[in-house]
């Protein structure tokens, strides 16, 4: 089948995966004190490989905002709420004396898009950063990362939940991420 035709194969309207890979029945409901605000680049929303949507479906205390849509202006006021931090691997980590975040902004985009977004959105540049250590060797993934700290959005959120809320709170998200990788790898493709 041509690549152009494969774009039109049906996908689940909720998890965005092909029907034979659908994860909807396996998405846990995860309660957190921290609110997760996903700032998703508009191109990311259409990708079958997008894991940010799965994270939003699983996290009870989350919200998804779209960046870059020509007909939708980004309301940056929510990025300036007190207690808001940015989950981002580059840049200085927040000083240890800063109170834990009440809201964590997660940029859901490719590395180059995420970097440009943080440069272009002044409210993001001003936020304290939660910097995660690089992933452990052997972490289940579908592809090699382009950045040493690279991981899927769902994996990054699970690790942030472990840091902020404790490892047991992150377990359902880690399980969902691993299930997604195994299901796609067993099938051999995302199409």
- Separation CA 130–CA 105 (nearest Å): 10
- Separation CA 173–CA 30 (nearest Å): 8
| CA angle at 61 for the pair 60 and 65, rounded to the nearest 5° | 110
- Separation CA 74–CA 83 (nearest Å): 20
pLDDT at 87 over 60: yes
Ramachandran angles phi, psi of 140, nearest 5°:
-65, 125
pLDDT at 69 over 90: no
Sheet holding 103-108, edge to edge: 62-67, 35-41, 103-108, 84-87, 129-130
Of 4-8, 26-30, 52-56, 104-108, least confident by mean pLDDT is 4-8
pLDDT digits (tens, 9 = 90+) for 106-143: 999 988 898 999 999 999 999 999 988 777 765 544 55
In this structure, are strands 62-67 and 84-87 parallel, antiparallel, or unpaired? Answer: unpaired
- Which pLDDT belongs to residue 62? 97
Report the predicted TM-score, pTM, of the whole model to 2 decimal places.
Answer: 0.86
Of 55-69, 100-114, 141-155, 162-176, least confident by mean pLDDT is 141-155
Helix (H, G, I), strand (E, B) or coil at 15: coil
Ramachandran angles phi, psi of 84, nearest 5°:
-90, 130
Structure-token pair, residue 116: 């440009």
Mean pLDDT along residues 20-46:
93
Q: Look-up: residue for tokens 């699983």?
A: 58
Q: Return the bridge partners of 115, or none.
A: none
The whole-chain average pLDDT of the chain stands at 85
Own/partner pairs, 152-156, CB within 8 angstroms, 24+ separation: 152/51, 152/177, 153/38, 153/50, 153/51, 153/52, 153/55, 153/106, 153/108, 154/51, 154/52, 154/54, 154/55, 154/180, 155/51, 156/87, 156/106, 156/132
49 near 142, Cβ under 8 Å? yes
Helix (H, G, I), strand (E, B) or coil at 95: coil
């Amino acid at each position: 089948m041509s690549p152009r035709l494969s774009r039109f194969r049906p996908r689940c309207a909720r998890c965005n995966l092909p029907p034979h890979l659908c994860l909807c029945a396996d998405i846990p409901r995860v309660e957190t004190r921290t609110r997760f605000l996903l700032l998703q680049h508009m191109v990311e929303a259409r990708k079958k490989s997008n894991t940010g949507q799965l994270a939003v479906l699983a996290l009870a205390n989350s919200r998804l905002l779209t960046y870059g849509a020509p007909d939708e202006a980004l309301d940056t006021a929510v990025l300036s709420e007190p207690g808001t931090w940015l989950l981002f691997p580059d840049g200085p980590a927040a000083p240890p004396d800063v109170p834990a975040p009440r809201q964590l902004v997660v940029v859901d985009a490719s590395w180059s898009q995420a970097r440009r977004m943080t440069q272009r959105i002044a409210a993001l540049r001003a936020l304290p950063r939660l910097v995660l250590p690089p992933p452990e060797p052997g972490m289940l993934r579908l592809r090699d990362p382009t950045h040493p700290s690279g991981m899927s959005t769902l994996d990054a959120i699970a690790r942030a939940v472990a840091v902020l809320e404790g490892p047991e709170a992150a377990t359902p998200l880690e399980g969902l991420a691993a299930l997604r990788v195994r299901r796609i790898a067993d099938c051999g493709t995302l199409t």
